Amino acid sequence: MEINLKTFIGLKELHLIDSVPATFESLEIITKAGTELIQSIYDSKPKLGEGEVFIETLSIKILLASKSIIELGNGTKVSALTKDSNVKLLDFPSINILTRSIIEAFLTMEYLFYNNLDKEERIFRFYIWQISGYKSRQSFFEKSQGLKQNITDKLQTELNEIERLLSIIEKSPYYKKMDKQSLWKLDKYGLPRLVSWQKLLEQSILKTSMFETSYKLYSNYAHSEFISLIQMNGKDTLNKGSKKNDNAILNSLRVVKMINCISMVCLKNKFDFTSKVFEQFDNETKTTILFWNEFGTE
């Protein structure tokens, strides 16, 4: 009985889902495809909408974090001054932290750009995000007077931009819907997102059941919580190729692979020129990306 390419790729991917070497190899191919899609933004020099240049920036962030994970997958020897080591360690805690940053980069793109909101609401969200970033920098340099002297002009320019953007969003109907607590945060510190990361994940196209627990776990690694430290304990846990080490990194690799594929499909669907580049990929690469996109989204 003949099976079509989609079924074949699906069976192949699921057969290899527990293989660390195969997942790393597949992730390498997927990141190369992602590089071509991002490069097409440079090459096409399109006329982008308000803030859409940050689709490229956030896509690069996902790409670079994924490439860093691939490099970490090679393992490293930790030698002392007086003694060399023959054991390769694989730093799965750092892989988990990078995986968290990849999830947040995608959620940010979805929150700002990959959504079905009307143009006015998308721009409102983007301006809030911008204001919050500028406010954070103002606050940082306000506490570091020595550093502040070197970029006084830039800080003043950004302060003027904060005032300009505030004057725009205050006229927006979405500004009037903000509660007092949110308005206070926006004024005092900035408010990058109108909802929490947890809420963004629940509202995302990502399958909540598949990503929610992982995201919470990786956040514990980022904050050096006790649960993350006890998972580092145990014989051979950090040894590259050990069963415990493989088990520790497999879920992160699957998450990273899915996010890369989902991000690429969103980018493909956003612009005509990225769609054309995507269609030029070989059939196996295209089908693999589409398989994991479907697997990881609602």
Rounded Cα distance between 187 and 184, Å, is 5
pLDDT range class, residue 148, cuts 50, 70, 90: low
Distance (Å, rounded) from C-alpha 61 to C-alpha 67? Answer: 10
- Output 214 or 189, whichever has higher pLDDT: 214
Percent of the chain with pLDDT over 70: 97
Query: What pLDDT was estimated at residue 146?
Result: 58
> Which long-range contacts does 21-29 make (Cβ < 8 Å, 24+ apart)?
23/250, 23/253, 23/254, 23/257, 24/70, 24/73, 24/253, 26/257, 26/288, 27/66, 27/69, 27/70, 27/253, 27/256, 27/257, 27/260, 28/70, 29/285, 29/288
pLDDT digits (tens, 9 = 90+) for 65-124: 999 999 999 999 999 989 988 889 999 999 999 999 999 999 999 999 999 999 999 999
> Using CA atoms, how far apart are residues 260 and 29, in angstroms rounded to an integer?
11
Q: The whole model's pTM is what?
A: 0.94
Q: Which residue has the tokens 């995000």?
A: 129
Per-residue pLDDT band for 145 (boundaries 50, 70, 90) equals low
| E strands present in the chain | 76-77, 88-89
pLDDT digits (tens, 9 = 90+) for 23-46: 999 999 999 999 999 999 989 989
pLDDT at site 297: 98
CA distance 278 to 38: 11
Least confident stretch, 186-195, 251-260, 267-276:
186-195
pLDDT value at residue 234: 82
The pLDDT value recorded for residue 142 is 74
Residue 139 scores a pLDDT above 90: no
User: Taking Cα atoms as reference points, which of 210, 124, 128 lies closest to residue 162?
Assistant: 128
The answer, yes or no, to whether residue 5 has pLDDT greater than 80, is yes
Confidence at residue 2, expressed as pLDDT on a 0 to 100 scale: 59
| Backbone dihedral angles phi then psi of residue 295, each to the nearest 5 degrees | -65, -35
Whether 211 shows a pLDDT value over 60: the answer reads: yes
**How far are the Cα atoms of 59, 94, 212 from residue 238, in angstroms, in the given order?**
30, 12, 25
- Predicted confidence (pLDDT) per residue in 219-233, tens digit: 999 999 999 999 898
pLDDT, one tens digit per residue, over 116-128 is: 999 999 999 999 9
